Chains A and B, each alone.
Chain A
């Protein structure tokens, strides 16, 4: 009996060892997203969008005759954790390709690991310019850098008659990068830049910053952060009686959630987004957009999450297309194949162009950017 029991750990060990070969029946894709901490809402949306893509691909027979398997890890909205998660996914789960890591600071922390293990990553959300300009050839970004957002916004600043603008941005690579890129564009347009206020990513009370902005002589505030902090800002701005035009950037606003939580305070605000789930027919790929939104609703998720979850959906479809094109699930082959894909994303064609220093360029796709306005609790599209 004792001997028989002694066999149990041996069998368990053997199973664990040979588990690796059994796992080769699927193709693994590593997902590095914030599921807890300051960006939990956003990261969860992206992961749910990714699952829709994986299920759709697997229902159609998978990739290279195998099913794809998402290995999902939580980076806790923390750059140190994001790097650790990337290392774990690559070395322990042996994923040949990653998608992540939502925030710019999180992605920047992962980037050295991609170089170290020569594994490509599709970046679905981050917008700091640095990500594609520092010479990391393993980065393939499908979201717009903040300079692209600023350039799109440039066309409308005359119509909005902006004169003096304050900034309230999250104190990380994303927020500071946005303030820099938008300031540059606005100065060229003759707009005065007033205050540039920052807030910690975990901060819940922005009253001090908002009080300062309230008493400045600017007429517009550009706000950059994710949805949870944004709703707090809208509520606190209303409580302080701040009556300036608020424009948000970054595409992580989930405008429906702002309407639901901030109520009347959301009226008159404008938001730069990268997806138009409210007007599927105006998107570059209406059929896929309608399919995605229907599937999102069928799974019982809140509609508000669509503006972020589509990135996970597009990201996984990008990865799957590259694996198919590569003909094998190996990092180097996938990296090479990413340069040659051309798929119809929900926000425009996903085609990677070279960006950054010669010889070690990162891939950058050129998605669309839209400006929407909330009026009477409804979302309207503005022409850029």
Chain B
């Protein structure tokens, strides 16, 4: 029983970060319809910003987080302005190829700047974990969970309760009508991509100190983010959050009770099942077909 409780606690802390990865991508992949292969690199980028600010500049850990979010936002905006804007209206294959190119170039860039050897970031949290009866959890992971929850909430409110969010939803539903209604469509494209990117960078900045930081760290994260988005239904923020927790639960219980060798396969078994039985995702709204 205590083992099961520990798996549940692990699932909560892991799920929070998966959800954060998922909502960033669901904005871009789900709402903007851009197959964003740079999501993983932006995650890596956020982690390296953390490394620069904390380890190389010696500044405060908590200050580094907003810096990473801002840097992710700027890099995301730059990608949208230089690569995606000239391609607007071209088919999905072209955009996808350009994004694959950007992914490879950016990953090689991180390798070139920081080298292939993993880096770690010191945190201000105590080494001794928080012990609650039979289960224990590190303070750093709790902080990461809280920060992820806050970012998810902010994103949810931004999309659903603000005029920017309304303009975003309108733009991606019908770009021409939104434009006629006075929405600055170009600005909406750039800011949506930038927000999604800053969420990826935030996830990297939060998880970099938990794990280690290296140029390929984003690859597995990106694959999981795509899985979460498909699980939750494209463009569905609530779905992405729940999808993140489901993936974490599948991995924890799969590794704990089935086989740890197949831990990373568990999530994808679920994806295959979802695609067979509910191809629009677990939480997709009913849509008019045709």
Residues of A near any B CB (own CB < 8 A): 35-37, 40-41, 44, 74, 171, 197-200, 202-205, 207-209, 211-212, 214-215, 228, 231-232, 235, 238-241, 261, 263-265
Q: Say whether B220 contacts A202, CB under 8 Å.
A: yes
B256 proximity list for chain A (CB < 8 A): 208-209, 211-212
Q: Say whether A198 contacts B6, CB under 8 Å.
A: no
Q: Say whether A239 contacts B129, CB under 8 Å.
A: yes
Is B214's CB within 8 Å of the partner chain A? yes
Q: Say whether A238 contacts B129, CB under 8 Å.
A: yes
A209 proximity list for chain B (CB < 8 A): 255-256, 260, 263
A205 proximity list for chain B (CB < 8 A): 14, 211
Q: Say whether A41 contacts B118, CB under 8 Å.
A: yes
**Interface-lining segment among B136-144, B146-154, B169-177, B191-199:** B136-144
Is B280's CB within 8 Å of the partner chain A? no
CB-based nearest B residue for A195:
B260
* Interchain nearest-CB distance for B46 vs A (Å): 15
Question: Which residue of the partner chain, among B10, B117, B120, contacts A207 with CB atoms under 8 Å?
Answer: B10
Q: Say whether A36 contacts B251, CB under 8 Å.
A: no
Question: Which residue of the partner chain, among B3, B115, B263, contacts A200 with CB atoms under 8 Å?
Answer: B263
> 14 A-B Cβ contacts within 8 A?
A36-B111, A40-B117, A203-B264, A204-B212, A209-B255, A209-B260, A209-B263, A211-B10, A212-B255, A215-B6, A232-B211, A239-B137, A263-B127, A264-B127
Q: A198-B261, A211-B3 are in contact. Are A240 and B117 (CB under 8 A)?
A: no
A209 to B6, CA, bound (A): 11
* Interchain nearest-CB distance for B222 vs A (Å): 13
Interface string of B255-290 (1 = CB under 8 A from A): 110011101100000000000000000000000000
Residues of B near any A CB (own CB < 8 A): 2-3, 6-7, 10, 14, 111, 115-118, 120, 127-129, 131, 136-138, 140-141, 211-212, 214-217, 220, 251-252, 254-256, 259-261, 263-264
A174 to B2, CA, bound (A): 32
A211 to B3, CA, bound (A): 6
B14 proximity list for chain A (CB < 8 A): 205, 207
B212 proximity list for chain A (CB < 8 A): 204, 228, 231-232
* Interchain nearest-CB distance for A301 vs B (Å): 11
A40 to B213, CA, bound (A): 12
A264 to B127, CA, bound (A): 8
* Extra A-B contacts (12), CB below 8 Å, given A40-B115, A228-B212: A35-B116, A36-B111, A36-B116, A37-B216, A40-B118, A203-B263, A207-B10, A208-B7, A215-B2, A215-B3, A215-B6, A261-B120
A25 to B128, CA, bound (A): 59
B141 proximity list for chain A (CB < 8 A): 239
Q: Say whether A214 contacts B264, CB under 8 Å.
A: no
A198 proximity list for chain B (CB < 8 A): 259-261
User: Top 9 nearest A-B pairs by Cβ distance?
Assistant: A36-B116, A239-B138, A208-B255, A40-B116, A215-B3, A204-B211, A241-B136, A211-B6, A198-B261
* Interchain nearest-CB distance for B178 vs A (Å): 41
Q: A205-B211, A239-B136, A240-B136 are in contact. Are A265 and B127 (CB under 8 A)?
A: yes
A37 proximity list for chain B (CB < 8 A): 116, 216
A197 proximity list for chain B (CB < 8 A): 260
A143 to B261, CA, bound (A): 27
